Chains A and B, each alone.
Chain A
Amino acid sequence: MALDMGAAPETLLSVRGLSVAAGDRPILTDISFDLAPRSILSVIGATGSGKTVLARALASWLSPPLRVTGGRILFRGRDLVADPAHARSLAGREIAYVGGNPAGALDPTMTVGAQLVEKLRAVRPDMSADDARKKAIRLLEAVHIPSAQRRFHEYPFQYSGGMMQRAMIVDALISDPALLIADNITQPLDVTVAAQILKLMRELNAQFSTAILFICSSLPVACDASDEVMVLHEGRVVERQTPAALVARPGHAYTRELIAELPTLWQGGENGASRATDRERRAIMSVRGLAKAYEVRARGQAGISRVQAVRNVDFDVFPGDNFGVVGESGCGKSSLMRLLTGLERPDAGSVFFEGENVGAASPKRLRELRRRFQLVLQDPYGCLPPQSPIGAILEEPLKIHRIGNAAERRDRARAVMAEVGLDDSLYRSLPTGLSAGQRQRLNVARAMILEPRLLIMDETLSALDQTEQGKLLDLFDKLQAQHGFTYIFISHDLTMVRRVCSRIAVMYLGETVEVAPNERLFFDPGHPYSRALLSAAPTLEERRYRPEDCLLEGEPPSPIDLPPGCAFASRCPHAFDRCRTENPALRARGGHALAACFLNPEPDIGLHETVTETPHV
């Protein structure tokens, strides 16, 4: 009998002195760590600290100019660096990889199911197509994809971002790998979906005994997810501890700083509540009973369906305010943004900007109005033209509005670059070389060059890590103090909203279900959906709302042909009969807070907020 049978290898993965360089520039230096079977190890670090490069090195997926310059990656004792053929044979079979951008990860012309089967049979040729299909459907069910049987036959573009991420997890796990490398898989997801994915990952880890290397840029998420946390800083491992120990006794300066600067939801620290809203002045933007439906033709279905993207939206934004709009993806935030900026006309209701109805303005008037309210989009999806130099990008809005001559425009562009902290030497460079943070600065600069009064930020910061976000928020503060901007932040990130916004609207399925001052929303939310969002927000604090009580399963129902009654009724833990027949309107709860839920007491007629902020019927 072989003696080594009983001696199960203690470590699955053992990295020794791994160094990676891009050309001559070292990216990873002397990385060493072990990963035991069935354990979850988180890796955190700032943007650019080398997390993705590490993930790709472990998956044997480095492409030039990146290359391993030293060290070993021992998987079950065999060195993957020295034996690329062996490494290739493990890819997708023993070592699986899930990335942070599920969009585009699968062939758009083939159904998700067909690709899962294709992948499984590529690494397990002995498996029959039928068995492969059954296994794929079983796993799709395991990751809580609703009606997996039907979804199996759908195309990637029919999946939402959260569902696609789950499908990619299925794709990684379908071959029963021993190691799963998950690079930033929750970053692009809504908090509620991210919380579900984390829960799912731990279940899968227990069920399929897969070891997981969980790479992430958010400390709370990393601590939440793993047995141990490893900190990467400038390409080196600087410490490794259990989550509790790491938070209690961080060993490295970077970790200490990260923990100190961690934005909090409930424990005080900097927050937007301190900002006094000037309710005496006229609202700069005032939204009343706004509604917009899109007509869509669902594939393989007769007739036209109406998607109610925005319904019953009401709120006021006062000058100098930081107004937040939060909600999960698909809840209508971006449609709302298009209505606010006049890119689309509402079906009903109105948007008043400084007393003028944007929804009814002529195209010419709209162009003039747009000088005074500007939109800042999130960049990762490429809203910067890659071929024009930064200076030209900035001067373009001035040209369009025929402001100044060439020299004046150039001076103005340079001044704005200085204000947002872009180096003057970048004036002639192309935006392709910019880091994510710099790109956001450029976006902001482009929006503010026309000296607007109101800036609408659509997910502007969601692609940045904590440190970069902090820097940009400070910049926004400074600009606000200098120019008297009013901001509307559209975001799915509650921590960010808590930190900067004075008043916050919560959207669910196109409706504003709650509009409340910062403090009130976080300490006394008036809607069960707001509580669910709070329970899912990543934080190291003692939670005020426990996920077990509040967290929702699944995803919001489709906004096509909504049933009558409260839109939240299908997921609400408190729903009762009335909720299914009657739709609750926004009602005042005192202290300028409004919520649309029957659980709140009927308001006294005459409270003065009901006059300023309830729908005109």
Chain B
Amino acid sequence: MFILRFLARRLGQGAIIIFLVSALIFTLLRVVPGDPVRLMVGGMAPDTLVEEIAAEMGLRDPIYVQFGRYMGKVLQGDLGESFVRPASGAAVGGASFDDATRGERAKVLDLIAETAPMTLQLAVLAMVFALMVGVPIGVWGGLYPGRLPDRLALYTSSLFVSLPNFWLGIVLALLLSVKLNLLPAIGYRGFSYTILPALVLAVEIAPFIIRTLTVSVAGVMGQTFIDIARVRGLSRNQIVFRHALKNSAVPLLNLLGVQFSMLLGGVLVIEFIFDYPGLGLLTINAVMQRDFPLIQGIAIVTAAVFVLINIAVDLLATAIDPRLDY
């Protein structure tokens, strides 16, 4: 019962968040300088043509009118069409052109649906790498605060933090791909193309995991129930693996939720460097081309993912620690 009420409440709040995000992005896109129509028709076209096309597209209506029209469609599941990108199948299928400047355009939803799984794959792999490195180092550091493992954890995370990701990306690409020929680096033609960018991302995330875990494990290890567990007759392994880790999991979970949302929102720099066809690359191109519908669509989807991840994190956290109420 509670879980239904919880879900209803949180999804309701989520809808409001998504609405506000869309309104904000929508308005910002239209008030900052830069006219998409000018980019579409090219610099040489006369101003009258630009105005004509813009009016035809509804871009000269008041913003709230445009927004109302847009949200009406969004509610029906239609995120609109890209300003600039052709539908991929259109050229082959020989669809009819009724306008020289406005061909069959790609659906925003399709563009996102093509690229999102790529980013998801990259994000999950990066997360797995980061956890594989971060959890052992972080837990070990937390078990011996102030001692060598703790310092190692600190050094490792400082080192990771201080590596600029674009630089690391380039170095790893040169080393692993060009010199040693171990992994492919640029573009995407199979799973192995995900590994290199995921590694770079993992190096970026791991310090957060290490830091969160050392702090929370050390905190839990100082608590009474851990101290007393020894006189109650529990073994060291039971204490660490059944009690300390479980109790340190909630802060980690919250962190992972935030990090994962950020990864899914598009890892701009990394996808750009590796020319990885994910949401991030799509976003960069959309922004450079002032492709309003695409930018808006990406924003809405990202906001929705963020909301859903947060709900999932809170549900998991209550499952781990029953004191946290929905």
Which residue of B has the minimal Cβ distance to A157? B323
Q: Show 18 residue pairs from A and B whose CB-CB distance is below 8 angstroms, ordered by the A residue.
A: A59-B231, A61-B230, A92-B234, A93-B233, A96-B231, A101-B224, A105-B224, A105-B228, A106-B225, A107-B243, A109-B247, A109-B322, A110-B243, A119-B233, A122-B234, A123-B233, A172-B232, A297-B2
Given known contacts A122-B238, A155-B322, A297-B2, is B232 in contact with A171 (CB within 8 Å)? yes
On chain A, the residues within 8 Å of B323 by CB distance are 108-109, 155, 157
On chain B, the residues within 8 Å of A297 by CB distance are 2, 325
On chain B, the residues within 8 Å of A110 by CB distance are 243, 246
- Residue A99, interface by CB 8 Å: yes
Q: Does A108 lie within 8 Å of B1, measured CB to CB?
A: no
On chain B, the residues within 8 Å of A109 by CB distance are 246-247, 320-323
Which residue of A has the minimal Cβ distance to B321? A109
- Residue B223, interface by CB 8 Å: yes
- Residue B235, interface by CB 8 Å: yes
Q: Does B228 lie within 8 Å of A99, measured CB to CB?
A: yes
Within the complex, which residue of A96, A107, A299, A300 is in contact with B225, where a contact is CB–CB below 8 Å?
A107
Given known contacts A108-B225, A155-B323, A297-B2, is B230 in contact with A122 (CB within 8 Å)? no
Interface size range on B against A = 20 to 34
- Residue A118, interface by CB 8 Å: yes
Within 8 A of B (CB), among A77-101: 91-93, 96-97, 99, 101
On chain B, the residues within 8 Å of A260 by CB distance are none
| Complex CA distance for A172 and B233, rounded to whole angstroms | 10
Nearest CB on A from B230, distance (A): 7
| Complex CA distance for A107 and B247, rounded to whole angstroms | 8
Given contacts A91-B232, A122-B235, A155-B322, 14 further A-B contacts (CB under 8 A): A61-B230, A92-B234, A97-B228, A108-B247, A108-B323, A119-B233, A122-B233, A122-B234, A123-B233, A157-B322, A171-B232, A172-B232, A299-B322, A300-B2
Which residue of B has the minimal Cβ distance to A123? B233
On chain B, the residues within 8 Å of A106 by CB distance are 225
Given known contacts A105-B224, A106-B225, is B247 in contact with A119 (CB within 8 Å)? no
Q: Does B225 lie within 8 Å of A92, measured CB to CB?
A: no
Q: B residues near A, CB below 8 A?
A: 1-2, 223-225, 228, 230-235, 238, 242-243, 246-247, 320-323, 325
Nearest CB on A from B252, distance (A): 14
Q: Does B233 lie within 8 Å of A104, measured CB to CB?
A: no
Q: Does A118 lie within 8 Å of B242, measured CB to CB?
A: yes
Residue from the set B1, B223, B232, B235 with the largest chain A CB neighbour count within 10 Å: B232
Interface size range on A against B = 20 to 34
| Complex CA distance for A123 and B223, rounded to whole angstroms | 22
| Complex CA distance for A171 and B229, rounded to whole angstroms | 11
Which residue of A has the minimal Cβ distance to B319? A109
Q: Does A302 lie within 8 Å of B1, measured CB to CB?
A: yes
- Residue A192, interface by CB 8 Å: no
Q: Does A91 lie within 8 Å of B231, measured CB to CB?
A: yes
Q: Does B2 lie within 8 Å of A61, measured CB to CB?
A: no
Within the complex, which residue of B2, B223, B243, B246 is in contact with A104, where a contact is CB–CB below 8 Å?
B223
Residue from the set A99, A105, A109, A299 with the largest chain B CB neighbour count within 10 Å: A109
Q: Does A104 lie within 8 Å of B232, measured CB to CB?
A: no
Within the complex, which residue of B228, B230, B234 is in contact with A118, where a contact is CB–CB below 8 Å?
B234
Given known contacts A104-B225, A122-B238, A297-B2, is B232 in contact with A92 (CB within 8 Å)? yes
On chain B, the residues within 8 Å of A99 by CB distance are 228
Which residue of B has the minimal Cβ distance to A303? B1
| Complex CA distance for A59 and B225, rounded to whole angstroms | 16
On chain A, the residues within 8 Å of B223 by CB distance are 104
| Complex CA distance for A300 and B326, rounded to whole angstroms | 12
Q: Does B231 lie within 8 Å of A175, measured CB to CB?
A: no
On chain A, the residues within 8 Å of B242 by CB distance are 118
On chain B, the residues within 8 Å of A119 by CB distance are 232-234
| Complex CA distance for A299 and B324, rounded to whole angstroms | 11
On chain A, the residues within 8 Å of B2 by CB distance are 297, 299-300
| Complex CA distance for A97 and B224, rounded to whole angstroms | 14
Which residue of A has the minimal Cβ distance to B220? A107
On chain A, the residues within 8 Å of B243 by CB distance are 107, 110
| Complex CA distance for A266 and B320, rounded to whole angstroms | 52
On chain B, the residues within 8 Å of A300 by CB distance are 2
Given known contacts A109-B246, A109-B320, is B233 in contact with A175 (CB within 8 Å)? yes
The proximity string for A residues 145-158 relative to B, scoring 1 for CB distances below 8 Å and 0 otherwise, is: 00000000001010
Q: Does A92 lie within 8 Å of B1, measured CB to CB?
A: no
| Complex CA distance for A314 and B325, rounded to whole angstroms | 35
Nearest CB on A from B247, distance (A): 6
Within 8 A of B (CB), among A557-580: none
On chain B, the residues within 8 Å of A104 by CB distance are 223-225
The proximity string for A residues 34-67 relative to B, scoring 1 for CB distances below 8 Å and 0 otherwise, is: 0000000000000000000000000111000000
Q: Does B231 lie within 8 Å of A61, measured CB to CB?
A: yes
| Complex CA distance for A110 and B226, rounded to whole angstroms | 13
Q: Does A91 lie within 8 Å of B225, measured CB to CB?
A: no
Which residue of B has the minimal Cβ distance to A99? B228
On chain B, the residues within 8 Å of A171 by CB distance are 232
On chain A, the residues within 8 Å of B247 by CB distance are 107-109
| Complex CA distance for A97 and B229, rounded to whole angstroms | 11
| Complex CA distance for A166 and B2, rounded to whole angstroms | 31
Q: Does B246 lie within 8 Å of A92, measured CB to CB?
A: no
On chain B, the residues within 8 Å of A59 by CB distance are 231
On chain A, the residues within 8 Å of B233 by CB distance are 91-93, 119, 122-123, 175
